Chain A
């Protein structure tokens, strides 16, 4: 009897394995688009409701936990505001000057791009660093497009598109690589994901000087990302005399775990 049960469970074990392998093969062939869309459509109301509910709960909890720091933060923000006000006024002058120079050089306007507003409806850093967004092929989203926040902070790129949703690979994923440049010293390198939600800028020539606190931007070279998107700030420079390249740890500009909506740049 026990032998019979064992063989029965053994058969069901292998049948299920075969079914899973078959599903992997179907997905590889691209035949699972319709079932995946059905699953997405069925889960979408729950995903959206839970996302909304959890963001509100987190915001509520944060109010209680952050009261202590609010006074200090307020004072710091006031100082920063004054500084930014001055910088803003300087930048306006620079922008005006830039416009004049462009007209003079007859370079024309920078190529126009469309921003597709998308809501993040799923995120799990443990199962691959992806966001699930609520825009897909039907909204004009395609693979390889850059994804940013409203502040132009780079989040990642679209890696998989279905009819009504898409998966965005975060720049903090170990599989992600972005060509980058430091804003002040104009040193090029490659930004890669590291442990957790961290970033590293690699392939920086040893003879180039970079400073902590410097902003790192996309360089727009050899990838689909437009130039000038903000990646983060250099938090540490790792320099080893034996290496031919130096490395910098980057503090990402965007807080990945608190995002609710993003823009896909088309």
Chain B
């Protein structure tokens, strides 16, 4: 039951990301709902149980719009693991400041890793991989700010919704 719900929710979230959110760009930056939710989940679920489940929305997004395929999934997984590790060993206490620091770290880490992976794919001559550093420096700070705010909202939503979801069989 849970797995079906997660797949269905992933399809809906990815569809929202590629349609509605693409129209909500602020200063040419589109919010990344999937990243925000996954980082928020990494902060909430510090023991990282069933962590492979985050691959479902990431792979869905990658197969629909990712080019080259796999880089979004890889960057999201690394960001998720990084936030999980930070949460487990450095920011054990809960509260607004640790959550803010973890959200910011996760989003910054994702942006850097994704840009790095694209650069690597570009060096390997993989189709569709190109990064303009001028673009990156211009848009990354805005994307970080935008996604960090979204991540805090997502964390609050998960905190409210997950206990109800966990009661399901």
- A interface residues with partner B (beta carbon < 8 Å): 5, 9, 12-13, 16-17, 19-21, 23-24, 27, 32, 35-36, 39-40, 42-43, 46-47, 49-51, 53-54, 57-58, 121-128, 130, 132, 159-160, 167, 169, 173-175, 194-197, 257
In this complex, how many residues of chain B approach chain A with their Cβ under 8 Å: the count is 49
Q: Are B63 and A39 in contact (CB under 8 A)?
A: yes
Whether the Cβ atoms of A174 and B59 lie closer than 8 Å is no
| CB-based contact A16/B19 at 8 Å | no
Expressed in whole angstroms, the minimum distance between the Cβ of B127 and any Cβ of chain A is 7
| Sampled A-B contacts (12; CB under 8 Å) | A16-B52, A17-B77, A23-B69, A24-B68, A43-B64, A123-B18, A124-B22, A126-B29, A127-B32, A128-B128, A173-B130, A194-B132
Q: Is B23 within 8 A of A54, CB to CB?
A: yes
- B71-96 vs A, Cβ < 8 Å mask (1 yes, 0 no): 01110010001001000000000000
Q: What CA separation (Å) do A46 and B14 show in the bound complex?
A: 9
Quick check: is B113 within 8 A (CB to CB) of the other chain?
no
The contact of A126 among B16, B128, B130, B143, by CB within 8 Å, is: B143
A123 pairs with B19, CB closer than 8 A = yes
With a CB–CB cut-off of 8 A, which chain A residues contact B168? Answer: none
Establish whether residues B70 and A50, one from each chain, have CB atoms under 8 Å apart when the complex forms: no
As a 0/1 sequence over residues 38 to 74 of chain B, the CB contacts with chain A under 8 angstroms (1 = contact) are 0000000001100110010001110111111110111
- By a beta-carbon cutoff of 8 Å, the part of chain B in contact with chain A is 11-12, 14-23, 25, 28-30, 32, 47-48, 51-52, 55, 59-61, 63-70, 72-74, 77, 81, 84, 127-128, 130-132, 134-135, 138-139, 143
Contact B73 A23 (CB under 8 A): yes
Residues of A within 8 A of B20 (CB): 50, 53-54, 57
Q: From residue A254, how far is it (CB to closest CB) to chain B in Å?
A: 15
A132 to B64, Cβ gap below 8 A? yes
With A35-B63, A128-B65, A196-B28 already in contact, 4 other A-B pairs whose C-beta atoms are closer than 8 Å: A9-B84, A50-B15, A132-B18, A174-B135
> A46 contacts B12, CB within 8 Å?
yes
CB distance from A176 to the nearest CB of B (A): 9
Asked if residues B25 and A125 are in contact (CB atoms below 8 Å), the reply is yes
Docked pose: A32 CA to B66 CA in angstroms: 13
Q: Tell which of B12, B65, B130, B138 touches A130, judged by Cβ atoms closer than 8 Å.
A: B65
